[in-house]
Amino acid sequence: MRTGIYLFAFILLLSTAFISKPTRVVFFGDSITQAGVNPGGYIDMLKKTLPADQFELIGAGIGGNKIYDLYLRMEDDVLAKKPDVVVIWVGVNDVWHKASSGTGTDPDKFVRFYEAVIKKLQANNIRVVLCTPAAIGEKTDMTNQQDGDLNQYSAFIRDLATRYNLPLVDLRKAFQEYDLKNNPENKDRGVLTTDRVHLNEKGNQFVADQMKAVLTAGK
């Protein structure tokens, strides 16, 4: 994975060094990313911190999306925009919908569709960045209802990043480490999220920082 990050950084460097136009990045995800383009959202924050002549950032998040929703709409919502980089951040609904509507995603099918998305993006010469789903609940003692399943699906994504040699923003790991330090009362929300899932101000800043580190790696 480390090799993946350096290679990725090197290509980014080349693309910004020798080509005049900025790197176009599409953030492809669910309601968290949909809210990310709002003022104060993580994409909005990235826009303010990354130089506009080097990065063009586009939000493509839709509430309730699971991996196969991304698959179904990638032609219209991603490929049509001709991005250089796509950041995939999905997984919360694949797990959550099991309980909230009985329509979550089977583990093996999650991987199958995720791979199909990666392959199609790569076939279009798009560089792909993966993210793990951050949280459904911020309790730090592994007693959030979906913790086991979120850990499982995050492990799938880490494995995909390794197998496809792709940069990974491991938000699940980052959130857990942050919460272990900053959530001594074992609250289920209010540290990085407003409602156990969606980002509060600190959460948006935290995600923006994590994303920036990968997008600018090597510069």
From the list 41-49, 83-91, 105-113, 121-129, the region that binds its own copies by CB under 8 A is 105-113
Instruction: Kindly list the strands in the beta sheet with 23-29, ordered across the sheet, starting from the edge strand earlier in the chain.
Output: 55-61, 23-29, 85-89, 127-131, 168-169
Q: For residues 150 and 97, is the Cβ–Cβ distance under 8 A?
A: no
Phi and psi at 39, nearest 5°, equal -55, 125
Among 74, 129, 150, 160, binds its own copies (CB under 8 A): 150
Among 11, 31, 62, 98, binds its own copies (CB under 8 A): 98
CB 38, min distance to its own copies, A: 25
Does residue 189 belong to the site contacting its own copies (CB under 8 A)?
no
Among 122, 151, 205, 216, binds its own copies (CB under 8 A): 151
Does residue 180 belong to the site contacting its own copies (CB under 8 A)?
no
- Distance (Å, whole) CA 74 – CA 68: 10
Instruction: Label the pairing between strands 23-29 and 85-89.
Output: parallel
Does residue 113 belong to the site contacting its own copies (CB under 8 A)?
yes
How many residues touch its own copies under the rule CB under 8 A: the total is 31
Q: Which residues bind its own copies (CB under 8 A)?
A: 68-69, 72, 97-106, 109, 112-113, 116, 137, 141-152, 155
